[in-house]
Structure 1
Amino acid sequence: MRDQLCEELHSVSAPDLARLVRELIIHQPHESDVQSDTVTTTALIQVLDGDRQLESRVCRLLRLRDGRAAAVWRGLAFAIGPGDTIDISESGVPPAECLPAAAPSPHAGPGLRWGLVEGAEEAWVLVAGSVAERDEMAYRLRGAGLAVLRSGAWLGEPTDGLEPDWFVRIARPAESRSLAAALEAILGPRAAAPPAAGEATEDLRRRLVKSELERARMEAAALGAEVERLKTDAANATALADRVARLEADLARAEEQLVHRQPATTPSVEASPTIQPAPRLARRIQEEVATVLQALLPGVRLLRDSLTVASVEFRDRSGFYRALRELTEGGPRLPPAWKKVRAAEEWWERHVSTGEDDSGRAYARPAPCGAGWDVLLSDKGSQDRDMIWLRKADR
């Protein structure tokens, strides 16, 4: 075979051999042509290692699977942060697992359906959808410079025309600008209640009545349980029993409306094309907590957003009531469940069950006037922030 190739080469004239060599050189693909299909777009990126800036470099751009833009640096793709920066102290992703920069975002489409519940120092941003949409919202809020404190399942009632599945709790920014306007600039327009029309109107009306019926049952059962636990104080239990009676009357009316399939309290489609959701936030639950404290524990004063935390983040508040009762009946010495807070001299701390786990935290101190207790209800995830707040409150 080798001898045959040598004979064929010797048979080719010198001009023909030179021409073949020139054609091979001209048609050989250049390295930049081979890479032109994989390189999409580039940008000047600031490379950070934590708080330290390493360099500025033109990097290839890709898109992570969660929709975030990314830049490739030394063989790994890192998410692009504010100001066209990447932080190599965070975990990188191999470029083979990324999408082209021009690929549509996995979250492209209608956008997030969100609502807002504002507190004194904190706010709850609500979202309807999956865990991925909750995490996307938390990522956008952090990227805009807001302090994200905690996220979890929403246990309150529908609000702002939205039936939320999750919440992201944030600290209110110091600026005087409207928080709702600031969030709309980050997340887009707030959710609106979808209109009902056509044949689905009657089914929607029935579902609303059933929802109200189930909620009334649950509240009546909860208040009945509270009455049983607190019936030792007959005078105060009478007020709660009246509330239960009113709820049971509402329950009977709702059942009657459901039987006749013509709820008197539901507006017709002709009168209002948009059926309004349940009352804003868990107001009845908040009123329940406030009534119990005012009637049975008048010496307890809730601080900050404790009332909102108890009504929307606690599935069962019996542990919270038990902790407050220990304060009022403990005398000069608190029960062993209360521990002294080392970081704040005047404060005591106790673990409180949320109905799902023991992540609740109650902080208490004697009231400055000497009668009663100041109480802050929070959660384990906000402990560092709460310690700073307690030290400030000591002053």
Structure 2
Amino acid sequence: MMIAIFNGDQLFETRACELVVLPDGRQGAIWRGLAYPLELPDHRIEIGSEAFAPNECIPRWARPAARRTFAVIEGVDEAYVLVSGAITDCEEASSRLKGAGYEVIRTGRYLGDPVEDFEADWFVRIVRPTVSSDALSTVLGAVFDDHVSERVSHQTLGEYRAQLIATELASAKAREAALRVEIARLNLESAKAAGTQAQIEELRRAVDLEREARQQADLAAAEAQESLNAARQNRPPPRVGKIRDEIEVVLAALIPEVRLIRDSLDVVAAEFINRRAFYRGLAELRTATARLPPTWKKLKGLEQWWERHMSDGQDDAGRIYVRFSATDRIWDVLISHKSEQSRDITWLDRQ
């Protein structure tokens, strides 16, 4: 639709703009990378008014959908609450969960697949509540109001404006440098026709300097545009593949002697950036029955259980606990984290 763009009472330009629905439900139009409220019936926008990042808006023809602020992976005894954004958003989510009475085990970078199309950056691992029969996601919906998402949106909008200004400035500098190069080139052509050799050399040096300035301006414009594109995305590239499926297939096909218990599969899928040590540790169980390799040691206080340190691709804080079941000749395996050892030993003692 053709939209009149005003700056105060002055008409700036008239341009065809994409129409959207703003986050607050009003109609809007996108101009120069931001969505502005659309004034009807005049079909005009005011560039000095409030504006929104386009990825916060809904295309005019799309059906409005609720904006998600979290996702949940429900385990046996625990759950992962997934959030997106900066580390401060993860810390705030953890604080809000604690304030609502949830026991937070730990937080960290989420490395698993998207959950129901929600691409998370961080996890808050909690003990599943037992006081309510409601689905955990329903319970958490009362904890996560729009405060987190609104704050992230305002931060994103501020960053978006800064990136937009940087892009416009860099592009203007590039255009100005290109014009100066053209002027210098024309002056050089004129000097060749009527000037002295000294004048020609001086102008040639000027052309070289202007050409270098243009190249620097073009590079700055390209970098600014790249940053702007990243700001528009406002989230990391989508993760591909089904990590949980991969783990289950590998275990069933190559190491069928093991059985992951409790929330072990969730831990590996969500927190391990590299699963090589995980597979190597399980492979050691294939030929072991009574005794295990020296890398394993008896778990203190639990006669039947053995433990081993294990890297998760980031550090050596991973832990693997195993027990051989003579009945079905299967190794029960619990994958966990060093920080949860006391809690895990208590749980293993009850098995």
TM-score of the aligned structures, taking structure 2 as reference length: 0.52
CA 1:378–1:126: 2 relative to 1, 3 Å: same
Give the Cα separation in 1 of the matches to 2:284 and 2:116: 37
Shift of 1:383: 1.1
- Residue aligning to 1:22: none
Question: Is the 1:362–1:375 Cα contact (8 Å) retained in structure 2?
Answer: yes
Greater RCO, CA 8 A, separation 6+: 2
- Residue aligning to 1:305: 263
- Residue aligning to 1:145: 101
For residues 314-344 of structure 1, what are the alpha-carbon distances to aligned partners after superposition, in whole Å with 9 as ceiling and x for unaligned?
1111101111111112343111111111132
Give the Cα separation in 1 of the matches to 2:259 and 2:116: 29
For residues 371-392 of structure 1, what are the alpha-carbon distances to aligned partners after superposition, in whole Å with 9 as ceiling and x for unaligned?
1211001111211111111011
Question: Is the 1:126–1:168 Cα contact (8 Å) retained in structure 2?
Answer: yes
Residues 353-368 of structure 1 correspond to what in structure 2 (within 5 A)? 353-368=311-326
* Match status 1:323 vs 2:304: no
Q: Look up the equivalent residue of 1:134 and give its one-letter code.
A: C
Give the Cα separation in 2 of the matches to 1:151 and 1:138: 8
Identify the match of residue 76 of structure 2 among 96, 100, 120.
120
Give the Cα separation in 2 of the matches to 1:295 and 1:338: 24
CA 1:294–1:348: 2 relative to 1, 3 Å: same
- Residue aligning to 2:233: none
* Match status 1:155 vs 2:118: no
Give the Cα separation in 2 of the matches to 1:130 and 1:292: 33
Give the Cα separation in 2 of the matches to 1:278 and 1:120: 30
* Match status 1:187 vs 2:141: no
Shift of 1:299: 1.4
CA 1:170–1:387: 2 relative to 1, 3 Å: same
Give the Cα separation in 2 of the matches to 1:145 and 1:159: 25
- Residue aligning to 1:373: 331
Q: Look up the equivalent residue of 2:247 and give its one-letter code.
A: V
Give the Cα separation in 2 of the matches to 1:155 and 1:295: 24
Question: Is the 2:319–2:336 Cα contact (8 Å) retained in structure 1?
Answer: yes
Residues 6-21 of structure 1 correspond to what in structure 2 (within 5 A)? none
* Match status 1:177 vs 2:134: yes
CA 1:368–1:140: 2 relative to 1, 3 Å: farther
Give the Cα separation in 1 of the matches to 2:274 and 2:306: 22
Structure 1 residue runs of 4 or more that deviate by more than 6 Å after TM superposition: none
SS in 2 for 1:307: helix
Give the Cα separation in 1 of the matches to 2:242 and 2:82: 19
* Match status 1:340 vs 2:298: yes
Count of aligned residue pairs for this structure pair: 198
Question: Is the 1:310–1:377 Cα contact (8 Å) retained in structure 2?
Answer: yes
Residues 1-395 of structure 1 correspond to what in structure 2 (within 5 A)? 113-175=69-131, 176-188=133-145, 284-369=242-327, 371-393=329-351
SS in 2 for 1:117: strand
Structure 1 unaligned regions, length at least 5: 1-110, 195-276
CA 1:348–1:301: 2 relative to 1, 3 Å: same
Give the Cα separation in 1 of the matches to 2:138 and 2:328: 43
Give the Cα separation in 1 of the matches to 2:281 and 2:336: 13
Aligned identity (percent) is 46
Give the Cα separation in 2 of the matches to 1:329 and 1:363: 17
Question: Is the 1:112–1:188 Cα contact (8 Å) retained in structure 2?
Answer: no
Say what the alpha-carbon RMSD is for the aligned residues. 2.6
Q: Look up the equivalent residue of 2:349 and give its one-letter code.
A: R
Give the Cα separation in 1 of the matches to 2:97 and 2:139: 10
Give the Cα separation in 2 of the matches to 1:387 and 1:317: 23
Q: Look up the equivalent residue of 2:135 and give its one-letter code.
A: S
TM-score of the aligned structures, taking structure 1 as reference length: 0.47
CA 1:122–1:278: 2 relative to 1, 3 Å: farther
Question: Is the 1:122–1:171 Cα contact (8 Å) retained in structure 2?
Answer: yes
Structure 2 unaligned regions, length at least 5: 1-66, 154-235
Give the Cα separation in 2 of the matches to 1:173 and 1:346: 30
Q: Look up the equivalent residue of 1:160 and give its one-letter code.
A: E
Give the Cα separation in 1 of the matches to 2:237 and 2:256: 30
- Identify which range, 153-162 or 284-293, moves more after superposition: 153-162
- Residue aligning to 1:43: none
Shift of 1:368: 4.6
Question: Is the 1:337–1:350 Cα contact (8 Å) retained in structure 2?
Answer: yes
- Residue aligning to 1:26: none
Question: Is the 2:299–2:307 Cα contact (8 Å) retained in structure 1?
Answer: yes
SS in 2 for 1:329: coil
Question: Is the 2:113–2:243 Cα contact (8 Å) retained in structure 1?
Answer: no
Question: Is the 2:289–2:324 Cα contact (8 Å) retained in structure 1?
Answer: no
Give the Cα separation in 1 of the matches to 2:245 and 2:115: 17
Give the Cα separation in 2 of the matches to 1:339 and 1:375: 14
Give the Cα separation in 2 of the matches to 1:153 and 1:142: 19
